[in-house]
Amino acid sequence: MLVDPDVLSSYEHDWTGRFSGRSSCVVRPADTAQVAAVVRACAAVGTPLVTQGGNTGLVGGGVPSGGEVVLSLRRLTDLGEVDRAAGQLSAGAGVTLADLQRHVRAAGVEFGVDLAARDSATVGGMAATNAGGIRVLRYGSMRAQVLGAEAVLADGSVVSRMGGLTKDGTGYDLVQLLIGSEGTLGVVTALRLKVVPLLRSSCVALLALESTQAAVDLLPVLRERLPQLAAAELFYELGVSLVRRHAGLPAPFDAHVPAYLLLECLDRSDPSEALLDLVGEAQGLLDARVATDAASVRALWAYREAHTEAINAEGVPVKLDVSVPTATLPGLVEQLPEVVAAVSPAARTVLFGHVNEGNLHVNVLDAGEEHDAVTEAVLQAVASRGGSISSEHGVGRAKPAWLHLSRSQTELAAMRAVKGALDPQGILNPGVIFA
């Protein structure tokens, strides 16, 4: 248990610098039984708790808002052997994604979710937020990797479903209910996770395209002709200029590029021929760079993966994470800078994302006092296209006021009923998902 104010500070501030709050203390239990004891003690006196993993969340869901106990799960780092017959393994909630990746690769397999915050993000937090990342088009989001979980409920009781049954038709799926619940329904302490084949041969192509529409038009072709496709990431000149300034990188192409599309193929044997064939035929292609050796692959990925850090280095952004039906993405990309400028003329709107899922990260710098006005304007534009106000980062403390744009009154009432049934005192992550 930590109470020294200097030590508490890193647990009280989120990664973006936007969310912070005092905690009464930080507790760092070492196993599920200790987590349960902490939750029982808090429940007995009605003290609220905020569960925290690697503190890489982007919507303020893992930091206190005022006086809560921070329940850090970073010491829950058990990693089981890969069960080869089942293609599964067990992992403690505090295992980082990078440690999980090293562990499963040593056993000759791979984990299906990957994201830029891999060195700090924990699998518990990734499950709690149903994290997505760069491989969703191939393997689905975190939800699709989870076959079981162990969790402490709000009264301190423990639910354990770690048997790893891939088929189980015995009523409500409590494990999947916890995935994406952002710590509001229970504290996930361990997970039973699926593994996927380890594909060591990579080929990355960075395409300079004449428009976002050209990127979207390429998607059906990629899906039909490139089963090796493992990532399709979209970004733009403004983001690249920030990445270059922050990371000191050269310009990827000589000329101005209206839309960048990074494609990665992964396979057992070199996938470059298939990718190059397709790139050669792509409509709207202005230029392309291709990499197959590890260092060049990393160098091309850096233009995409360094976006979040480069943006943060410029100031605290209005950070939005939306998805729309993919066909409507080009229209949204075109409209958003105007939508933002109408409420905050000096703002810079940085757009990037995971194009296959219609998932756009909207980071608005220099919005000044217009934080909520920018959020409102962008999320209304998204909702009018039938989109989601949070694609893969969660609702957290940042978005409850806009949840009604993506969820009907009937859905919200059902969600509140679930919350009330599992956490009647409202001690688990209060203020997260629901204001």
Which residues in this chain contact ligand 2HG in the complex, by CB under 6 A? 58, 116, 308, 319, 321, 361, 363
Secondary structure class of 202 (helix, strand, coil):
strand
Judged by CB, which is closer to ligand 2HG: 291, or 398? 398
Q: Which residue has the tokens 């001690």?
A: 427
Minimum gap (Å) between residue 46 Cβ and ligand 2HG = 35
Residue ranges of E strands in 165-308: 187-194, 196-197, 201-209, 229-235, 259-267, 285-291
Report the alpha-carbon distance of residue 275 to residue 281 in Å, rounded. 10
Alpha carbon 298 to its chain centroid, in Å, reads: 20
What DSSP string runs through 106-140?
HTTEE-S---TTTTT-BHHHHHHTT---TTHHHH-
Question: 109-129 in b/e burial notation, b at 16+ Cβ within 10 A?
Answer: bbbbbbbbbbeebbbbbbbbb
Judged by CB, which is closer to ligand 2HG: 38, or 364? 364
Closest by CA to 429, choosing from 149, 99, 21, 93, is 21
Minimum gap (Å) between residue 308 Cβ and ligand 2HG = 3
Minimum gap (Å) between residue 332 Cβ and ligand 2HG = 15
Judged by CB, which is closer to ligand 2HG: 141, or 406? 141
Judged by CB, which is closer to ligand 2HG: 58, or 279? 58
Backbone angles phi, psi at 209, to 5 degrees: -110, 160
Judged by CB, which is closer to ligand 2HG: 321, or 423? 321
Minimum gap (Å) between residue 411 Cβ and ligand 2HG = 24
Q: Which residue has the tokens 């190059």?
A: 276
Judged by CB, which is closer to ligand 2HG: 32, or 363? 363
Token reading at 42? 């808090």
Minimum gap (Å) between residue 403 Cβ and ligand 2HG = 19
Q: Which residue has the tokens 């296959």?
A: 356
Tell me the one-letter amino acid at 135.
R
| Residues 6+ positions from 9 with CB-CB distance below 8 Å | none
Judged by CB, which is closer to ligand 2HG: 319, or 399? 319
Token reading at 15? 């990664």
Judged by CB, which is closer to ligand 2HG: 32, or 406? 406
Report the alpha-carbon distance of residue 169 to residue 35 in Å, rounded. 29
Report the alpha-carbon distance of residue 28 to residue 132 in Å, rounded. 27
Minimum gap (Å) between residue 358 Cβ and ligand 2HG = 14
Report the alpha-carbon distance of residue 62 to residue 11 in Å, rounded. 9
Judged by CB, which is closer to ligand 2HG: 178, or 320? 320
Minimum gap (Å) between residue 321 Cβ and ligand 2HG = 6
